Structure 1
Amino acid sequence: MSPRHSRLSSNFWLIVQHESRVLLRDRTLPLVCAVLALMIGCGLFVGMAQASLRERMIAEVTEHEREAQQKNQDTLRSVLSGKETLVPFSNPANPAALAGTLAGRHTVLPNGALAALAVGQSDMMPNYYRISYLSKVQFMYDSEIENPWNLLSGHFDVAFVIVFVLPLLVIGVSYNLLSAEREQGTLRMLCSQPLSLATLLIAKVAVRLIAVLSIVIPLPLIALLASHPDTRALEPVLLMLSWAALVAGYALFWFAAAALVNVLGRPSSQNALIMIALWTVLVLVLPVAMNLAVDAISPAPSRTELASRTRVVTADALKEYENLYSADYRYASDPEALAVKDGRIDVPSRMRAFFLAKQRVDERIEPLLKRFDNQLLEQQHLVDLVGFLSPAILVNEALNSVAGNGSLRFVAFKAQTEAFHNRWRSFFAPRILQDRATTMDDLNSLPTWQWVELTAADTRWRVWSRIALIMTLAISLGSIALAKAKRQPIV
């Protein structure tokens, strides 16, 4: 190492040691770290509670499905042996009854290993659907999942702390990096030594950056590793590294912004106002403005239009099959009409009409549903394109992807649910239309749900592309700050 580089390194570490002692004695940095640790802990608690709630929901629907399957098997054995009283809507030998209400199949979206780090869209999107021969619009587009106030305000999770609170704490410890020295009259004295303004600035930022990252990165990851054994596998660990890089890049961006503001030579009070204004614009104003712009370019699908169109299509389907709906109810007075005879069963006309009508509703409403989904995808694509304008959007989207609660995962779940719904109908359609009674083999070979996870490469690309963007922004701001620091006169 050359003497010059050795002197720079020595000066750098000397400033780091001195700044650490000053901040510890001043108690500002320890207080900020304590507040950050407390908020990270609260956010992690909320995230774990939400993830646990969803896991319990999945466990309950899975247990319900298992119990329904066992009950159907027992009932079908009794029906086939002639020991069970025949009731049309609870007779598993009737394929229409089995497809509609008895089978109890569900599609479920499991939590990601790091789901506790970001609630994301999991409070807006369902993580399970009950599958029957009902129209898709009846079980996939019919209701909200949570209290509207919660949906409006969002959850206080780790992602919220990082995106919204972390920049404020960074501002609190870095708005006066150089201005305080200038106002106290010590900056001229420091720079009279063999010490450059850039070295001084880097050392001051390094102390604060290391202190903040030593809280915000390891605390939630250690808690997850200790409490969730599934996070210790290779893929979750790689996601944790991505998460750490993302958080580090976001914190570095705000420290770089603070450094740039400090080299402008303004008083500490003006620096604080500039940084708060920057936070307001980048974290609050820009995301809202971008949402409005996206809505204007690609208007949100109208649920009113969907509901109105569904009512019209349903009425048309009812009219089309009104003869079947009004067919006789002989099975009410003659239960033996529902008996299985030579592998066949008389499917009641009303139940057949219900099955056919729901199929017809889906056929006619499908173009509108496709347009509905395509508009939502287009909105997400626009957000991805212009998201680089707001570091908050970049980081929030990537945090949700790491946690497995991002938009793409829910879109994939919805698409796979639709495919399974089609399989379910295809399985039962010939049996209902041909009056084929359900056999034990049929019951044991019902379509089963299997979630296909997004590829790790897709998730890594989505996250690391955003890490690269936020790092580029941070390095650019830092480079500008250092360049100005080298030309900045010491006053």
Structure 2
Amino acid sequence: MTTVRFPVLVQAELRLILRERLTRAILAALLVALCLAAWTGAGRVASERAALAQAAVDTDRVVRDARAAHERYAKPSPIKLNYWQDPTDAFGYMTYFMTAYAVKPPTPLAAFAAGQSDVQPAIMRASFGFSTVFDDTAYEPGSTARLRLGPFDLAFVLVYLVPLAVIALAGTRLSSEHDSGILRMIASQPVGPRRVASAKFGAVALVAITAVLGGTALALIVSGALGAFDGWEGTLALLAAALAAYVVLWVSACALVASLWRGGVAALAILVLAWACVTVALPSTLGLAVEVLAPTPSRIAAIDASRQAQVRFYTGEEGARITAAWLTGKIPKALSRPGLAELPEIKRLARDAFYDEALAGYRDAARDHTRAVAAWSRRLAILSPATVLARALEMAAGTDAERHSAFLEASAAYRRDLRAFFEPRILAQALNPTPVCQGCPSRLDFNAYDAVPAFVPSVPRAAAEHQALVALSCLIAGTLLLTAMAYRRLSGWPA
């Protein structure tokens, strides 16, 4: 008898798989899920871009209004104008008129994963004073029901539903033949179990990879979720390779379970249990481990410290002494100017500086915690195929917690830059309170609106590409391990 060639076996298995109604139903359901997830992701990204565009419009509008006010108030008038109503006053503009935003723009691949973007905003308005106990106080989570249910995005479909589709396609290969007795007839032919298993599961892998990658590309194109790549082609290619490796890993798991020769029902039960462990139980356990390894500092203690700082500044003469000490440090000759320390703008600057110093330790502890969480998450993610792929998708989308932590730090640094820009101008104004225009209702000593520092956003393409490469390497290693175990067990037909 002549040994059947391997390509002939693969072609026969492909025809058999594609003729099955179950295959068409599974692939159709998967395509619908991918299209729905891509559509929701495209809508989320569009809303973020609209919010960023509106922020830019608001910033331009404030500058135009300030310039118009500068021209309008540059004429003598009996109108009485308080400092908080005067955009030509440096302190008034900074505290009451300026609209400055720190922004986290979506990446070209933002539609892949929502991450924590529903509770971690992509835009934050710069604010000063006691409202900034934490860097993340500008949050508006929205509907609690939506937060509880979580986003239905491409990452959810690819990480959780694709393995179920693969199990439905490949879970009973060889096992069903064993149950029906056909395996004896196959074993009587001049072909070994390794060749038969390779053909069967190889055909499933070809169908599944084509369906998953093609369906994802089609869903992204139809939904309009992809824009200009701007150099992200390499990251997208690595993600596609990682996704293909993820599919093959589950096909290899099906082959390994089939080599146990336990029958179709037992094979499906084992695979579903493995799916639950890999995609649900293990990531949850890793999350608990991160909480233990990087304990969260008490926010209540920070809030109490904020309250104590307020009480100390506004009780008795302590606030006056703090203001005088701060002013003397900035302007040594301030002691010769009576009443200078009583100006509201001086009190405000001194209060904010005192407040920042009082809470610096708590802010540093919170930032150290976020860095520790990111570091442990990065290390532990490789222990589960689901977490390592999900992390790669979130970093490519720019919705991962590590990027948001860096965004919060950049936002805090931006507030410091704004204060450093306005502080010398406010002090100069306090030292020379005479209006620039005699008889004009406003000071007219500030018109450097275009010189106000702008936030420089960061789009971490290199980090996303690195994580995609890490995910690809881990998934290939896991696939090779499962394949080697299945290959070893399939050395002979069952007795």
Which TM-score band (shorter chain)? 0.7 to 0.9
Moved more, 165-174 or 317-326: 317-326
Describe the shift of the 1:352–1:79 C-alpha distance in structure 2 as closer, same or farther (beyond 3 A): farther
Which of 31, 47, 50 lines up with 2:25 in the alignment?
A: 31
Aligned to 1:3: none
Aligned to 2:330: none
Unaligned stretches of 5+ residues in structure 2: 324-339, 431-442
Aligned to 2:479: 474
Is structure 2 residue 65 aligned with structure 1 residue 60? no
Moved more, 133-142 or 193-202: 133-142
Q: Please list the CA deviations of residues 360-402 of structure 1 after superposition, one character each: whole Å capped at 9, or x if unmatched.
A: 2112211111111111221221122222221111111111011
How many angstroms does 1:348 deviate by?
A: 8.1
Distance 1:135 1:396 in 2: 37
How many angstroms does 1:87 deviate by?
A: 2.9
Aligned to 2:436: none
Which of 284, 295, 302 lines up with 2:298 in the alignment?
A: 302
Distance 2:160 2:292 in 1: 26
Describe the shift of the 1:201–1:12 C-alpha distance in structure 2 as closer, same or farther (beyond 3 A): same
Describe the shift of the 1:294–1:14 C-alpha distance in structure 2 as closer, same or farther (beyond 3 A): same
- 1:12-411 aligned at under 5 Å gives the runs 12-82=6-76, 86-134=81-129, 137-138=132-133, 140-142=135-137, 144-146=139-141, 147-225=143-221, 231-233=227-229, 235-319=231-315, 322-323=319-320, 349-411=343-405
Aligned to 2:439: none
Distance 1:315 1:387 in 2: 45
How many angstroms does 1:206 deviate by?
A: 2.1
How many angstroms does 1:438 deviate by?
A: 5.8
Please state whether the residue corresponding to 1:16 is helix, strand or coil.
helix
How many angstroms does 1:481 deviate by?
A: 0.5
Aligned AA for 1:49?
Answer: G
Aligned AA for 1:157?
Answer: D
Distance 1:127 1:135 in 2: 22
Please state whether the residue corresponding to 2:448 is helix, strand or coil.
helix
Distance 1:85 1:77 in 2: 16
Please state whether the residue corresponding to 2:232 is helix, strand or coil.
helix
Unaligned stretches of 5+ residues in structure 1: 1-6, 327-345
Distance 2:281 2:308 in 1: 41
How many angstroms does 1:60 deviate by?
A: 1.2
Q: Please list the CA deviations of residues 151-208 of structure 1 after superposition, one character each: whole Å capped at 9, or x if unmatched.
A: 3332010100111111111111111111111122222322332322112112212222
Aligned AA for 2:247?
Answer: A
* RMSD, aligned CA: 2.6
How many angstroms does 1:231 deviate by?
A: 3.5
Describe the shift of the 1:236–1:222 C-alpha distance in structure 2 as closer, same or farther (beyond 3 A): farther
Aligned AA for 2:310?
Answer: T
TM-score, normalised with respect to structure 1: 0.87
Which of 450, 463, 471 lines up with 1:458 in the alignment?
A: 463
CA contact (8 A) 1:96 1:352 kept: no
Describe the shift of the 1:270–1:447 C-alpha distance in structure 2 as closer, same or farther (beyond 3 A): same
Please state whether the residue corresponding to 2:360 is helix, strand or coil.
helix
Structure number with higher relative contact order (C-alpha < 8 Å, ≥ 6 residues apart): 2
Describe the shift of the 1:139–1:354 C-alpha distance in structure 2 as closer, same or farther (beyond 3 A): farther
Describe the shift of the 1:82–1:177 C-alpha distance in structure 2 as closer, same or farther (beyond 3 A): farther
Please state whether the residue corresponding to 1:46 is helix, strand or coil.
helix
Describe the shift of the 1:366–1:324 C-alpha distance in structure 2 as closer, same or farther (beyond 3 A): closer
CA contact (8 A) 1:72 1:103 kept: no
Aligned to 1:421: 415
Please state whether the residue corresponding to 1:129 is helix, strand or coil.
strand
Describe the shift of the 1:229–1:161 C-alpha distance in structure 2 as closer, same or farther (beyond 3 A): closer
Aligned AA for 1:18?
Answer: A
Distance 1:210 1:135 in 2: 59
Distance 2:254 2:444 in 1: 71
CA contact (8 A) 1:135 1:359 kept: no
How many angstroms does 1:230 deviate by?
A: 6.7
